[in-house]
Amino acid sequence: MKKVLVSIALMAVAFSTHVFANSNYDVFYKLNDKSTFKSMVRYLQTDDSQTNDLQYIFHLTEKKLKAAKGNAPELEKTLRFNLANVKAALSPEQYRKYLIVLNLSIQNQEFTYFAEK
């Protein structure tokens, strides 16, 4: 059973990287939004230390995105920076929830763009 769960977790990480590769990374800008951040923290059930860490990580991620200016390799580095640091700051269960939220946000964003076209 443990091997199945580890396999699912690895597939989720691989899928999240694939999904982000096709997006325009706008979801990361939303993470610094006050109401979005509060909702995320409440959903992840973070303690004060984790909340401060996430806020700092999201701030740095946004700065890196602005500096990348659409450069694909830099955007990929920023994605990896965010995922690695969030993984270090959260418990495995919280990180799994974080990946789910990001993937759903990206998919929702793509559906919105498709509907607008």
Q: What is the pLDDT of residue 106?
A: 77
* CA–CA distance, 117 with 113 (Å, rounded to integer): 6
pLDDT at 28: 82
Pull the structure tokens for residue 69: 């200016």
Q: Could you say which residues of the chain have pLDDT below 50?
A: 17-22, 112-117
Distance (Å, whole) CA 96 – CA 73: 25
Residue 31 carries which DSSP code? T
Contact 75, 36 (CB under 8 A): no
The predicted pLDDT at position 13 comes to 56
Of 51, 35, 33, the residue nearest 94 (C-alpha) = 51
